[in-house]
Structure 1
Amino acid sequence: MAVSGAGTCKLETLEAEVEIKAKADQLYKFISNKHHDVPKAASDKIYDVTVHEGDWETSDSVKLWKYTVDGNVETYKEKVEIDEANKRVSLEALEGSHVLDNYKSYKVTYQVITPNSEGSSVKITLEYEKLSENDPPPQKYLGFVVNVIKDVDAHLLKE
């Protein structure tokens, strides 16, 4: 994990890369347009996801997630951007209990890296802007989304 940027009112990032065993295209399809199945794959973390605007498969759709991080139930309303050409899905926070308590902006991006000699992986990038210099980087959220991707990978291997 790397942290870049510093200071209040500046966009900062956290990154992680997760090796996957499922087929890269299968995992990309799951994270780009099968959000409704994520609670099945990560039921101990994510309880529900519903569409508020749009649908399950297109950019600019708005979804509401209900999940638990560090024992706290939270919600996250997001706008989805799908980049088929680069196998990238971005989820930008519109509203949310907890996540937007410390961050002026928050966006998580998943990019599926297709197979090479070392296999496939998912690059996860969190872009955020703190409300205050004292607010911590969203390490717990990065760990959460890393674990969700691992759960999705394991779920896909069982299909």
Structure 2
Amino acid sequence: MSLKGNLGAQVEIKTDAKTFHDVFSARPHHISNMTPEKIKGVDLHEGDLGTAGTILVWNYVHEGVPKIAKVIVEAIDDVNLSTTFTVIEGDLLTEFKVFKNTVKATPKANGEGTIVLWHIEYEKLHEGIPDPHSMVKLGIHLTKDIDNHHVNQAN
């Protein structure tokens, strides 16, 4: 069993790719308004929203338990519509030495909707820790909630 791994998932949504990308790259503090059961708040700790190097503190609910993750925004790619976060403090680091999450929005070829890709790169502290499939599921649920928010706002 390997301590290092990668997991991912794709979600098809109706929201356009740029709008979805902007939520994670420049407006993460709005996510709690779009999915309040899962994200209680995203606070700017250091830096400027929309720029790499910014540090954010995520207050979220994972499997019914309130959690905290302090992350650094490693990269924002406004051309390929991706944002990468690396956890630097918080609950995830009780089980993982490395936890990096990338969310990428790609316009569908027909121009109607978006494919959102979640990619998690991780290194567990020991072999007894399960792979973080539940964190991938959380990303899928966040994506659907954010999409529903934007679709309902447009109607």
Query: Could you say which TM-score interval applies, normalised by the shorter chain?
Result: over 0.9
Task: Say which of 134, 144, 149 aligns to 2:138.
Answer: 144
The corresponding residue for 2:45 is 52
Distance 1:21 1:89 in 2: 19
Indicate the SS of the match to 2:108. Answer: strand
**TM-score with structure 1 setting the length:** 0.90
**TM-score with structure 2 setting the length:** 0.92
Once the two structures are superposed, residues 99-148 of structure 1 have per-residue CA deviations (whole angstroms, 9 ceiling, x without a partner) of 11111100110011112137421010010001101110001111111101
The corresponding residue for 2:25 is 32
Q: Which amino acid aligns with 1:25?
A: K
The corresponding residue for 2:148 is 154
Conserved in 1, the CA contact under 8 Å of 2:15 and 2:113? no
Indicate the SS of the match to 2:131. Answer: coil
Alpha-carbon RMSD across the aligned residues, in angstroms, is 1.3
Indicate the SS of the match to 1:22. Answer: coil
The corresponding residue for 1:113 is 106
The corresponding residue for 1:127 is 121
Indicate the SS of the match to 2:135. Answer: helix
Q: Which amino acid aligns with 1:145?
A: G
Conserved in 1, the CA contact under 8 Å of 2:42 and 2:56? yes
Once the two structures are superposed, residues 29-51 of structure 1 have per-residue CA deviations (whole angstroms, 9 ceiling, x without a partner) of 12211101000001011111111
Indicate the SS of the match to 2:51. Answer: coil
Consecutive unaligned residues in structure 2, runs of 5 or more: none
Distance 1:96 1:150 in 2: 25
The corresponding residue for 2:2 is 7
Indicate the SS of the match to 1:85. Answer: coil
Indicate the SS of the match to 2:129. Answer: coil
Identity of aligned residues (%): 30
Q: Which amino acid aligns with 1:7?
A: S
